[in-house]
């Protein structure tokens, strides 16, 4: 993808709108996972070396177009100031007074952080008036929010469209993401293993069909595994099954067979009689589940089999947990896969919020080749879609 990058832009002394993905988890006013914030620092520093007139825009959570202070970016501004050793001027009233005037009055040791863009309905609706207001006085647009590149919102599409094309480009994180994800599609070293988990086949069908064109093994876990097992005629007890999606599962099996891709399904389970954090875990030592139980995690035999495939792989992509890993009784399968991916000597790429959270929980994120901040954006990119937030940055 031929994007205009940072080193293609004249930033010197210019007023810059920098779109970042600072959608970090916050509890009791404290950031509990700084991954996205830390990934944004290199681009911020690069720009600040050339101009201090920087306004950072981001969203946090889903406040639905209204001010909701539990989604305020102010705690992020406090931490950003600490990391950059600069004063962060937090601007919450930018709809009343044009913030480009504030940019013109900054000292060299200051930068601007705008309050949550999604406090305004015009952000998600890509409202033309909102875009014009936000683009006023801005000379250069930089997007480094890969996690929102699949959204055609004001800050990812509408605002940059008002800036001349030669003055808008992608940041260092987007460059890093595209090189890592592009390597999976263009030149994966075999054996290439895809680990796919999560709740619904329907959410992952497009990316699975795309990756089957490139991979050798597809390991399936999470709730979606029970739809696959049901299709194969295996008893799944009370497990959640998308009975209306069997045609999608059939298409995956057909595509895999045509390309000689081996699909691996759970051979044992961590199960319970109810979908509850307080439910007692019961080990089921077979692929079939009894009528009164539902699968909530992969079992130890599946962990061993999947880990063996991963250990022999030269390329691994993982998206989605192997079970309800938020609940301690059903976290062991996902934690074991995090350890297996981290131990793999090949190129390993992990995308999606839950998978990244599992890596962090297991303390092994630093041992993975690339941890994507993208979530939905990374999946849509791997599906082969042209993301609107990237299209607007093309030369």
CATH number of the domain residue 111 falls in? 3.40.50.1260
Q: Are residues 151 and 214 in the same domain?
A: no
For helices 35-48 and 172-186, give the axis angle rounded to 10 degrees. 120
Looking at residue 234, what is its pLDDT?
A: 97
Q: pLDDT by residue (tens digit) across 262-288?
A: 999 999 999 999 999 999 999 999 999
> Of 174, 196, 212, which residue constitutes the final position of a domain?
174
Q: Are residues 379 and 237 in the same domain?
A: yes
How many Å from the N-terminal Cα to the C-terminal Cα in the chain? Answer: 9
Q: pLDDT digits over 93-126, tens only?
A: 999 888 988 999 999 999 999 999 999 999 999 9
One domain for residues 72 and 164: yes
Would you give the DSSP letter of residue 19? Answer: E
Half-sphere exposure of 213 (CA within 13 A, CB side): 12
Mean of pLDDT over the chain:
95
118 and 196 co-located in one domain: no
Identify whether 181 is part of a domain.
no
Tens-place pLDDT, residues 9-24: 999 999 999 999 999 9
Sign of the alpha-carbon dihedral angle for 137, 139, 144, 146:
positive
SS3 state at 390: helix
Give the residue-averaged pLDDT of 68-86.
Answer: 96
**In this structure, is residue 322 part of a structural domain?**
yes
**Calpha distance 341→348 (Å, rounded):** 7
- Residues 73, 60: Cα–Cα separation, whole Å: 7
- For residue 352, pLDDT over 80 is answered with no
**Residue 109 and residue 164 in one domain:** yes
**Sequence-ordered list of residues with C-beta below 8 angstroms from that of 59, at least 6 positions apart, any chain:** 23, 116, 117, 118, 123, 148, 155
Q: What is the CB neighbour count within 10 angstroms for residue 255?
A: 17
Q: Is residue 124 part of a domain?
A: yes
Residue with tokens 């094309």: 165
Domain end position, chosen among 174, 203, 230: 174
53 and 168 in a single domain? The answer is yes
Among the listed residues 100, 85, 79, the one whose alpha carbon sits nearest the alpha carbon of residue 16: 100
* C-alpha distances out from residue 61 to 20, 56, 70, 119, 339, Å: 14, 17, 9, 10, 29
Using CA atoms, how far apart are residues 297 and 321, in angstroms rounded to an integer? 9
- Residues 210 and 170 grouped into a single domain: no
In a domain, 210, yes or no: yes
Is 209 in a helix, a strand, or coil?
A: helix
Residue 1 lies in a domain: no
Instruction: Identify the weakest region by mean pLDDT among 31-45, 190-204, 242-256, 346-360.
Output: 346-360
Q: How far apart are CA 189 and CA 35, in angstroms?
A: 27
Tell me how many domains the chain contains: 2
Q: Is 200 a catalytic residue?
A: yes
Q: What is the mean pLDDT of residues 222-235?
A: 96
- Of 122, 158, 353, 389, the catalytic one is 353
Which of 38-47, 93-102, 131-140, 309-318 shows the lowest per-residue confidence on average (mean pLDDT)?
93-102
The helix or strand, by DSSP H or E, that contains position 282, with its residue range, turns out to be strand 282-284
Would residue 395 count as lying in a domain? Answer: no
Q: Could you confirm whether 376 is annotated as catalytic? A: yes
36 domain-assigned: yes
What pLDDT is stored for residue 200 in this prediction?
Answer: 86
Got the DSSP string for 299-335? -HHHHHHHHHHHHT-SEEEEES-SS-TTSGGG-HHHH
- Angle between helices 332-343 and 353-362 in degrees, nearest 10: 80
Locate 350 and state its tokens.
């992990």
Q: Which domain range does residue 209 map to?
A: 188-383
Half-sphere exposure of 205 (CA within 13 A, CB side): 17
Catalytic residue among 301, 367, 376, 385: 376
Q: How many residues are listed for the chain in this entry?
A: 395
Same-domain status, 212 and 360? yes
Domain boundary among 141, 174, 207: 174
Same domain, 90 and 169: yes
Q: Which residue has the tokens 């896969």?
A: 337
d(C-alpha 358, C-alpha 278), whole Å = 20
Let me know whether 166 and 200 are in one domain.
Answer: no
Distance CA 259, CA 393 (A): 35
CA-wise closest residue to 383 among 102, 181, 219, 225? 181
Residues 166, 265 within the same domain: no
In a domain, 219, yes or no: yes
Close Cβ partners of 55 (under 8 Å, ≥ 6 residues apart) = 15, 16, 17, 18, 91, 99, 100, 102, 103, 111, 112, 113, 114, 138
Mean local confidence (pLDDT), 47-67? 96
Residue 171 appears among annotated catalytic residues: no
Q: Is the pTM of this model over 0.75?
A: yes
Q: At what angle do helices 201-211 and 246-258 cross, to 10 degrees?
A: 10
Neighbours of 121 (CB within 10 A): 14
Residues 163 and 200 in one domain: no
User: What is d(CA 351, CA 40) in angstroms, rounded to the nearest whole number?
Assistant: 17
């Amino acid at each position: 993808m031929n994007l205009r990058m940072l080193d293609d832009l004249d930033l010197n002394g210019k007023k810059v709108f920098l779109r970042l993905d600072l959608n970090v988890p916050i509890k009791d006013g404290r950031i509990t996972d700084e991954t996205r914030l830390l990934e944004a620092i290199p681009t911020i520093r690069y720009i600040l070396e050339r101009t201090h007139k920087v306004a950072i825009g981001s969203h946090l959570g889903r406040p639905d177009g209204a001010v909701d202070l539990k989604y305020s970016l102010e705690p992020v501004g406090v931490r950003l100031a600490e990391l950059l050793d600069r004063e962060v001027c937090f601007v919450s009233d930018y709809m009343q007074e044009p913030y480009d005037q504030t940019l013109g009055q900054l000292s060299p040791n200051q930068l601007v952080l705008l309050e949550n863009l999604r406090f305004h309905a015009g952000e998600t609706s890509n409202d033309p008036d909102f875009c014009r207001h936000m683009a006023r006085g801005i000379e250069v647009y930089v997007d480094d929010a890969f996690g929102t590149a699949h959204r055609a919102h004001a800050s990812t599409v509408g605002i940059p469209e008002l800036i001349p094309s030669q003055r808008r480009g992608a940041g260092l994180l987007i460059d890093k993401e595209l090189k890592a994800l592009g390597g999976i599609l263009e030149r994966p070293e075999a054996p290439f293993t895809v680990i796919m988990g999560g709740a619904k086949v329907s959410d992952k069908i497009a990316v699975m069909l795309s990756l089957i064109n490139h991979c050798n093994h597809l390991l399936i876990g999470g709730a979606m595994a029970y739809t696959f097992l049901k299709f194969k005629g295996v008893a799944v007890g009370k497990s959640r099954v998308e009975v209306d999606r069997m045609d999608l599962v059939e298409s995956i099996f057909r595509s895999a067979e045509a390309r000689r891709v081996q699909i691996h399904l759970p051979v044992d389970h961590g199960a319970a009689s109810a979908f509850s954090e307080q439910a007692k875990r019961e080990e089921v030592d077979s692929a079939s589940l009894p009528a009164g139980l539902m699968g909530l995690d992969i079992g130890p035999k599946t962990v061993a089999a999947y880990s063996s495939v991963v250990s022999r792989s030269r390329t691994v992509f993982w998206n989605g947990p192997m079970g309800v890993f938020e609940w301690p009784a059903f976290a062991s399968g996902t934690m074991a896969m995090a350890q297996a991916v981290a131990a793999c000597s090949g190129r390993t790429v992990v995308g999606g919020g839950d998978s990244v959270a599992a890596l962090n929980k297991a303390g092994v994120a630093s041992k993975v080749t690339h941890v994507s901040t993208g979530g939905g954006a990374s999946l849509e990119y791997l599906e082969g879609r042209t993301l609107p937030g990237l299209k607007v940055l093309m030369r």
